[in-house]
Amino acid sequence: MKEPIQIRGARTHNLREVTCEFPPAVLTVVTGVSGSGKSSLVFDTLYAEGQRRFVQSMSTYSRMFLERMERPDVDFISNIPPAIALAQKNTIRNARSTVGTITEINDHLRLVYAHVGEATCTACGGRVARDDPHTGLLDLEAMGEGTAVLVVAPVEIADLPLENVATGLRKQGYRRLWIDGKVIRLDEESDEIPELPKAAETAAAYGGRQVLPVVIDRLTIGTTRQARCREALEAAFALARGRALLVPQDGGDPRTLDRRFTCRDCGLERGELVPHLFSFNSPLGACPECQGFGRVAGLDLDKVIPDPRVSLDEGAVAPWTTPSGEEMWERMLAAAKDHGIRTKVPWKELRDEEKAFVLDGEPTGGPPLKGRRKRFKGVHGFFRWLERKRYRTHVRVLIARYRGYTPCGVCLGARLQPDALAVRVGGWNIAELTERPIAEALTWADTIAADPRISARAATLLSEVRSRLGYLMEVGLDYLTLGRQARTLSGGEAQRIHLASALGSALTDTLYCLDEPTVGLHARDSARLLGVLRGLTEAGNTVVVVEHDPSLIEGADNVIDLGPGGGAGGGQVLYAGPPEGLPKDTSTTARFLEVRGDDDTVPQRGAGKAGVRIEGARENNLQNVTVTIPAKRLVCLTGVSGSGKSSLAEQVLYNGHLREQGEGVEAGACDAIRGLEAFDEVVLMNQAPAGRSSRSNAATYLKAYDEIRKLLAATTAARQEGIPAGHFSFNSNGGRCEECGGMGTVTLEMHFMADLEVACEQCSGTRFKPHVLEVRYRGRNVNEILGLTIDEAREFFSERPRIRDRFAALSLVGLGYITLGQATSTLSGGEAQRLKLASFIDAGNTAQRLLIFDEPTTGLHLSDVARLVRVLHDLVDRGNTILVVEHNLDFIAAADWVIDLGPGGGDRGGQLVGEGTPRDLACGGGTPTADALAEIFGTPTVARDPKPAPKTKVARAPKPAPKKKAAPRRKPAAKKKITSKPKATAKKKSTSSKKTGSTKAASASRSGAQ
């Protein structure tokens, strides 16, 4: 019986002498309110000690760095097995990394294609194959029993004298040739020897080479033993350098065998099918044009013509609105006048041939030009001319401003060279296979595994491929593709992919530490994930999960509940044991599990009047979706993973709004977006880091650190030492530690394993020089102030309202437990969104906004979800409209209106399957979201047809009262007609837009670093 992992006296961060046990080979869920110390216990104590002990078992070189690795603040830890941490964060930035490469499925597929792939000739489309004695025997059998066949070796003569070749053949025992349809003997007594040179001149040519067909053996199908047939084929291949000829003596067509990899139609030799040929990370397989990236840098027309509502007269072509482009603009207008191109209508209303004229210019072979004007070469010609001037710095800057990435014109985004794409297995080449959803890839693998010809040669490989694809299905990622870039995955998706990889590795006696694996996962798939985690424990592994999802908490073997509060109010073990024993009197988790769906304090406003209407959305997998987002309501956009929620909310709605405002972004395809003119702002709050710099923290993001530095600089000690406010900044020289650059940590490149981040030896992680740390305000120096939590800082600065009030909003959105100095780059996606949300909570702000969120409940306890719901409803009461992409059932149940997409993910999704209030949706049933809502409401669902029509709506929004007509869309502000040269593109926008955390964020977005 294995001993449990024991922790005694853990004091990491806010943990208060925590003592607990983790039973071996079981699933333990660590839960508690946000900031209660869950990650401190699991990752900063348990996993950190496991990692430290692992490095201790390595080489002397590795152990040199152990003294610099900070040991967790704990009295005693025992029985820790080798540990693996799967964090809820996607740190992959390499464009070459894909789902297939991470899971190693691509490695196995490359071997499959190299072993059983069927190649076609890229020149003529013929079959490319290689023969061997086995295929030769099959060809002999196909000729029919009783057929007499000659096995002939076409020996190349090259430049050797024919007599010498004949002499050599005789010495080897070969005495017969097959020339002009008859056998000629090479015996010295033969009278035909003098005629041999003449006969050789008429011998058959093979690939332009003159050959001498030597008869190896004469066989009779069905009579001659198979061993003799194989021996004859081997001898022919050896004599003729891999070639052989099967000649039926009844006059049938001869069959050519070739051990080389050649086209059977044109005879062109192709490269060998080796695994590296199917890898876009290998020089052998990568497309020579794009080097395996699938995209090439080119001209981005969305940047060249950022606002399609502008005419050519008004300066639609952005590069020619500057003084350096004035000549090209005038040349374009003159050429347009001669060719009848309309210059006063918006760009989007021009005909295709008119747009082509602007982009490609005048034809070079046309009639002579009128007057003395120069030929107009178009936008593409202009940038080709600029390429010849790249040696000038300002030209390179101009080119870079309008550059973008476009699909490679050679491989069309497939990343591989033509020879690799010409190889197919089961009807698909490897690029086509990796662009299909994982569910379809698994069907393909099952199909070809059932083919005996393929399974005989690749059974083990196919078994591994099917196993790993099955694990991806089990963790709810069936909608992804193997070719999906890893850097585009959400944190939850990346974690579940690593979990699937761990399952595929079949490790045992290992400690797995996971951080909220249900992030981004629909409630329908949580049960499947629970089964996957149990599969790990059944293999003898110990699984510890930091989680808030009720289904995982209730399905765990062991639960550790931390609390009772967050930050300084947490760090205690409230309960440890089976989930059914959670005490309702002391555990916030138990209380909220009991009252799910019964919060009567949340208003239910219904649909109300129409706000924004999206018509005919077709981006990614969306299938001509038309939805209406009610105004001044909290609206949830739901559906299983991969159903098209983010495509609709971000790519279609938000990016479509940006395009309407003249931003050069790629917007999702749709027919129209109506109603956005009613909003003062449209703001996207996604899960991107809140600050632009790794030095950004909560204090700098909310602009409170400026005031704190002024307070420190105003102290008596600072004035006596002459320390200005700038020396209390870790981003500028003077007071910061120069060894670590004010970061507090340094990164060690280990080369053989992941880099280690250790505390700076010079400042011991305090970031500042000693004389700066001696300055104190109310007993705390700058490092200690940055170590305060938000709630502690509000009390510490209670007499400084300019600082205190900036932190009040953070406490309101449930971030009172984070410290002032915690880097925004270390926050989870949900924490980053709530940090951005805090900047919009201002009672005096009456602007009407459309706020778009992407799973803001990430990392939130059930109690904190209820708090966030109240904050968002308060914003709705002030006139805002909020659209939230969400999976959390408690959040969805508290929304005013639900728009449900589905019914599945990937190609099986992208349809509107239901809309209405949460309870109406629950009563209707028929979708995964509706069924899950019915379970927490305790609502019986209406019986439905087993296959409901995908576009049947559960409930319809009531039509707005016909008191007023909907406000017409505002036209762009009229522009002053340009007569000499276009003005700079500074257009007044009817609505503003923000993408919090992006490089183009508006004024409300915080830059972060001071």
3-class SS letters over 49-98: HHHHHHHHCCCHHHHCCHHHCCCCCCCEEECCCCEEEECCCCCCCCCCCE
Q: How far apart are CA 569 and CA 590, in angstroms?
A: 18
- What is the pLDDT, as a whole number, of residue 598? 62
Q: Check residues 365 and 152 and name the one with the higher pLDDT.
A: 152
Q: Which residue has the tokens 């008429």?
A: 202
C-alpha dihedral sign at 603, 606, 609, 612: positive
- What is the pLDDT, as a whole number, of residue 984? 40
Q: Would you say 34 and 835 are in contact if contact means Cβ atoms under 8 Å apart?
A: no
Identity of the amino acid at 106 = N
- What is the pLDDT, as a whole number, of residue 505? 79
Phi-psi map region of 632: left, alpha, beta (phi>0 left; psi -120 to 50 alpha): left
Q: Would you say 523 and 893 are in contact if contact means Cβ atoms under 8 Å apart?
A: no
In a 3-state reduction of DSSP, which class is residue 614?
strand
For residue 584, is pLDDT > 60? yes
Q: How far apart are CA 566 and CA 554, in angstroms?
A: 22
Q: How far apart are CA 457 and CA 468, in angstroms?
A: 19
Identity of the amino acid at 782 = V
Report in angstroms the alpha-carbon separations of 452 from 186, 455, 458, 518: 46, 5, 10, 40
In which band, very low, low, confident or very high, does the pLDDT at 622 lie, cut at 50, 70 and 90? very high
| Per-residue pLDDT reduced to its tens digit, 456-470 | 889 999 999 999 999
- What is the pLDDT, as a whole number, of residue 203? 46
Say what angle helices 452-474 and 105-116 make with each other, to 10 degrees: 170
Q: How far apart are CA 840 and CA 847, in angstroms?
A: 10
* Bridge partners of residue 543, in order along the sequence: 27, 512
- Reference 541, options 25, 184, 169; nearest CA is 25
Report in angstroms the alpha-carbon separations of 787 from 13, 794, 819: 10, 13, 6
Report in angstroms the alpha-carbon separations of 224 from 138, 148, 236, 246: 14, 10, 17, 15
In which band, very low, low, confident or very high, does the pLDDT at 229 lie, cut at 50, 70 and 90? very high
Question: Which range in 161-170, 789-798, 810-819 is most confidently predicted, on average pLDDT?
Answer: 789-798
Mean pLDDT, residues 206-232 = 83
CA angle 12, 13, 14 (to 5 degrees): 105
Tokens, residue 535: 């599969």
DSSP 452: H
| Per-residue pLDDT reduced to its tens digit, 737-786 | 988 888 888 877 765 556 667 888 888 888 899 999 999 999 999 999 99
Q: Would you say 380 and 361 are in contact if contact means Cβ atoms under 8 Å apart?
A: yes
- What is the pLDDT, as a whole number, of residue 926? 83
Q: Check residues 522 and 9 and name the one with the higher pLDDT.
A: 9
- What is the pLDDT, as a whole number, of residue 578? 94
* Bridge partners of residue 899, in order along the sequence: 637, 915
Q: How far apart are CA 171 and CA 169, in angstroms?
A: 5
| Per-residue pLDDT reduced to its tens digit, 731-741 | 888 889 988 88
- How many residues does the structure list for the chain? 1010
Report in angstroms the alpha-carbon separations of 554 from 549, 558, 578, 857, 929: 9, 9, 9, 19, 20
DSSP 828: -
Q: How far apart are CA 645 and CA 621, in angstroms?
A: 10
Phi then psi for residue 573, to 5 deg, are -85, 110
Report in angstroms the alpha-carbon separations of 456 from 112, 227, 260, 448, 465: 12, 22, 22, 11, 15
Q: How far apart are CA 376 and CA 327, in angstroms?
A: 11
- What is the pLDDT, as a whole number, of residue 165? 77
* Bridge partners of residue 27, in order along the sequence: 543
Identity of the amino acid at 721 = E
- Count of other CB atoms within 10 angstroms of residue 946: 6
Q: Which helix (H) or strand (E) holds 889?
A: helix 889-893
| Per-residue pLDDT reduced to its tens digit, 881-919 | 999 999 999 899 999 999 999 898 888 889 999 999 998
* Rounded percentage of the chain residues whose pLDDT exceeds 70: 86
Across 898-933, b (16+ Cβ under 10 Å) vs e yields bbbbbbbbbebbbbbbbbbbbbbbbbbbbbbbbbbb
- Sort strands 176-179 and 182-185 into parallel, antiparallel or unpaired: antiparallel
* Bridge partners of residue 819, in order along the sequence: 789
Q: How far apart are CA 405 and CA 298, in angstroms?
A: 6
For residue 132, is pLDDT > 50? yes
Tokens, residue 779: 């007993």
DSSP string for residues in 674-712:
ESGGG-SEEEEE-SS-SSSSTT-BHHHHTT-HHHHHHHH
- What is the pLDDT, as a whole number, of residue 489? 84
- What is the pLDDT, as a whole number, of residue 956? 33
Question: Which range in 128-142, 275-289, 801-815 is most confidently predicted, on average pLDDT?
Answer: 275-289
3-state SS string for 642-655:
CCCHHHHHHHHHHH
Q: How far apart are CA 348 and CA 345, in angstroms?
A: 8
Phi then psi for residue 100, to 5 deg, are -65, -35
Report in angstroms the alpha-carbon separations of 995 from 447, 691, 835, 932: 45, 12, 14, 32
pTM of the model as a whole: 0.74
Q: How far apart are CA 27 and CA 29, in angstroms?
A: 7
Q: How far apart are CA 935 and CA 933, in angstroms?
A: 5
Q: Would you say 203 and 211 are in contact if contact means Cβ atoms under 8 Å apart?
A: yes
Q: How far apart are CA 399 and CA 261, in angstroms?
A: 45
The secondary structure of the chain in percent helix, strand, coil, rounded to multiples of 5, reads 35, 20, 45
Tell how many helices (H) and how many strands (E) occur in the chain.
36, 34
For residue 991, is pLDDT > 90? no
944: which residues sit within 8 A by CB, 6+ positions away? Answer: 924, 925, 926
Q: Which helix (H) or strand (E) holds 791?
A: helix 790-796
* Bridge partners of residue 258, in order along the sequence: 243
DSSP 328: H
- What is the pLDDT, as a whole number, of residue 599? 59
Which has the minimum average pLDDT: 206-210, 390-394, 561-565? 206-210
Tokens, residue 530: 């629970």
- Count of other CB atoms within 10 angstroms of residue 293: 18
* Rounded percentage of the chain residues whose pLDDT exceeds 90: 34
For residue 1009, is pLDDT > 60? no
Report in angstroms the alpha-carbon separations of 102 from 94, 498, 815, 973: 11, 8, 33, 50
In a 3-state reduction of DSSP, which class is residue 257?
strand
In which band, very low, low, confident or very high, does the pLDDT at 587 lie, cut at 50, 70 and 90? confident
Helices (H), 481-562: 491-505, 523-538, 550-555
For residue 200, is pLDDT > 70? no
Q: Which helix (H) or strand (E) holds 612?
A: strand 610-617
Q: Would you say 609 and 896 are in contact if contact means Cβ atoms under 8 Å apart?
A: no
Q: Would you say 370 and 337 are in contact if contact means Cβ atoms under 8 Å apart?
A: no
581: which residues sit within 8 A by CB, 6+ positions away? Answer: 575
Question: Which range in 247-256, 719-728, 843-852, 960-969 is most confidently predicted, on average pLDDT?
Answer: 719-728
Q: How far apart are CA 414 and CA 428, in angstroms?
A: 13
Q: Which helix (H) or strand (E) holds 258?
A: strand 255-258
- What is the pLDDT, as a whole number, of residue 692? 65
Strand stretches in 811-895, DSSP E: 849-854, 881-885
Q: How far apart are CA 241 and CA 827, in angstroms?
A: 65
For residue 638, is pLDDT > 70? yes
Rg of the chain in Å (alpha carbons): 36
